[in-house]
Amino acid sequence: MAGEDKKRVAIIGAGISGLVSLKECLAEGIKAHIFEGRSEIGGQWAYQAEPDEKGELQSSMYDGVILNSCRDTTGFSDFPIDPERHGDYFSHREMHRYVLDYADYFGLHKHISLSTKVLGCSQAKDGKWNVRTQGVDGKQPEEGIYDVLISATGINSLPIIPKFKNCEAFQGEFFHSHYYRKPSRFEGKRVVIIGAGSAAVDIASELVTCSKEVHFVTRRGTWVMPRYVLGKPIESWDSRVSQTWLPPSVAEWLNTKLLNLVQGKHPKVLQPEHGMMAQNATVRSEFIERVRTGSIKVHRSTVDSFTETGVVLADGETVEADVIISATGYKRERPYLPSDVLSNQDTPEFETDLYKLIVPARYENLYFVGYIEQPGPTPPAVEAQARFAVGAIAGLHTVPKGEALLKEIRAWQAWHAKTYVRSERHVNTETYVPYIDSLLKPLGARPSFGRLLGQVFTSGRPFEALSVLIAVYFEITSSAQWRLLGHGKKPDLAKATVLRISSGKEKFTAKEEELLGL
């Protein structure tokens, strides 16, 4: 690495983004350390049933969360999820256990400072970062100098609570979905939910089992997909071929037809003007049925104002409520970083000045990992971001600088503006397989058709190589495919995992157990 191993890297956050960044740094021989404000690792997956001693809730996880992505797509590329311990879709508690196992397996704990809040980070003229931290015990803050800083604090920490007219007049309970935990305490109450993202859909689906009324207020409408299609996880129908070979318009048409086939034409009251692929994915199997049966009452409008007993919508309709839940997303700021790190006065609306959502336009030696939403599972995407960032830190590839960097960012922003809904929620939305491929191509880790086909003739195991090719391109998108080739490759484990998932086996193969040391 030409001396790159002498660099010191500070990582902020011990959620999945921070942990995988640390793991990749250590794999390259780079000295790295995580600072985590909470007393445990796992980020959002470390469930908090109650506020901490300061009355704060860092995790947005609610008690009934089931993952939107399935087992065979969700795991990290070199640490597959055990099919004997996890169903197709599983709870946040099981996901947290998986994250803990990941940290144990790769020996990450000794490189993490828990209960240590990052107060601020400033960059010196030489490009290094001064990181100010303080323990939760309130002792004197400490400072450390680091060559590189990785921001890995995710996207669900700082709730956006709109300032509704006459909000203070409401006599009931009003809070952000970040603070929702269980449906039981809303027994017999009339609830209004504002917003149409994943949290809004999940909470509405939970509350219909106990609340007197559930009202769902959405301006644009939304697409909501089931977890299963014809008995298989929905991801099974979205292969690498459909994501990389088909024109987006054709993929959009096919996905819409498939959705209409399995759950009927989308309810008119929810039908958005934008296409299915222009928004972040929302998955909840029973939501559409609840809307059709009237259990969830959808109001296609916005909230104009609050009253003492409910809300007045923009169309003049009045909705009575005991509880109002604002499922209105999260702020994108990083309080510990300079205020112009993500955008400034020249940044187009609903855009961010990050190259590949990782490298900021105005600061060197700073990388973002985990600042992304995409129509796929989060762990493989943030892992690819970490590999890209650490690859740059280690000198394995280069990223543009100065005007060249800003030109690349502006070109991406123009594409992004044409592709996705113009809203705060979609500022950091990207594709799935194409995006990960773009990050790993500089490391030689993109599993191109030509390279996999070549292995059919050169590997000495043509039938195995052909099976891998078919699984990677025509079947479910396991993250193991990004460990088949290039820097950081683990081909034996990757092949074993890809072929096991392709075969539908419900337990690790002997080869996987051997390579994982189980």
Nearest to 358 by CA among 21, 99, 111: 21
Query: pLDDT per residue over 79-92, tens digit each?
Result: 999 999 999 999 99
Q: How far apart are CA 505 and CA 511, in angstroms?
A: 13
The CA distance from 297 to 270, in Å, is: 11
Q: What is the mean pLDDT of residues 447-453?
A: 98
Specify whether the CB–CB gap between 433 and 251 falls below 8 A: no
**Of 345, 361, 63, which Cα lies nearest the Cα of 353?**
361
Q: Once rounded to an integer, what is the mean pLDDT over residues 362-390? A: 97
Identify the residue with better confidence: 3 or 328. 328
- Asked whether the beta carbons of 306 and 169 are under 8 A apart, the reply is yes
The percent of residues in the chain predicted with pLDDT above 90, rounded, is 88
Q: Which two tokens stand for residue 162?
A: 């709109």
pLDDT at 5: 53
Say which residues have a Cβ less than 8 Å from residue 134's Cβ, sequence separation at least 6.
116, 117, 119, 140, 141, 142
pLDDT of 281 higher than 80: no
Pairing between strand 148-151 and 8-12?
A: parallel
Q: How far is CA 17 from CA 34, 124, 481, in A?
A: 11, 25, 20
pLDDT band (50, 70, 90) for residue 2: very low
What's the first-to-final CA gap in the chain, in angstroms?
32
Mean pLDDT for all residues in the chain? 95
* Alpha-carbon span 310 to 323, nearest angstrom: 8
pLDDT range class, residue 1, cuts 50, 70, 90: very low
Over residues 97-154, the pLDDT tens digits come to 999 999 999 999 999 999 999 999 999 999 999 999 999 888 889 999 999 999 999 8
When pLDDT is averaged across residues 233-254 and rounded to a whole number, the result is 93
Amino acid letter for position 444: G
Which domains, from first to last, does the chain contain? 4-157+331-394+425-434 (3.50.50.60), 167-326 (3.50.50.60), 449-516 (no CATH)
pLDDT surpassing 50 at residue 255: yes
d(CA 67, CA 91): 6
Distance of CA 432 to the CA centre of its chain: 11
**Please, what sign has the CA dihedral across residues 433, 153, 403, 393?**
negative
With 60 as the cut, is the pLDDT of residue 228 above it? yes
* Three-state secondary structure call for residue 1: coil
Q: What is the mean pLDDT of residues 318-324?
A: 98
Residues 205, 210, 211, 212, Cα dihedral to 10°? 120
Does pLDDT of 53 surpass 50? yes
Check whether 169 has a pLDDT greater than 90: yes
Q: Is the pLDDT of residue 21 over 80?
A: yes
Q: How far is CA 174 from the centre of its chain?
A: 27
User: Parallel, antiparallel, or unpaired for β 112-113 and 228-229?
Assistant: unpaired
Residue 4, pLDDT > 70, answer no
Burial class (CB in 10 A: 0-12, 13-18, 19+), 34: buried
205 three-class SS: helix
Please answer whether residues 405 and 355 qualify as being in contact, where contact means their C-beta atoms are separated by less than 8 angstroms. yes
**Alpha carbon of 352 to those of 305, 330, 388, 408, 421: distances in Å?**
31, 15, 19, 12, 14
pLDDT, position 3: 41
The burial of 468, by beta-carbon neighbours within 10 Å (0-12 exposed, 13-18 middle, 19 or more buried), is given as buried
- Average pLDDT, integer, range 28-41: 97
Sort strands 190-194 and 323-326 into parallel, antiparallel or unpaired.
parallel
Instruction: Give the list of residues 6+ apart from residue 31 with CB closer than 8 angstroms, or none.
Output: 5, 6, 7, 8, 9, 25
What is the mean predicted confidence (pLDDT) over 59-76?
95
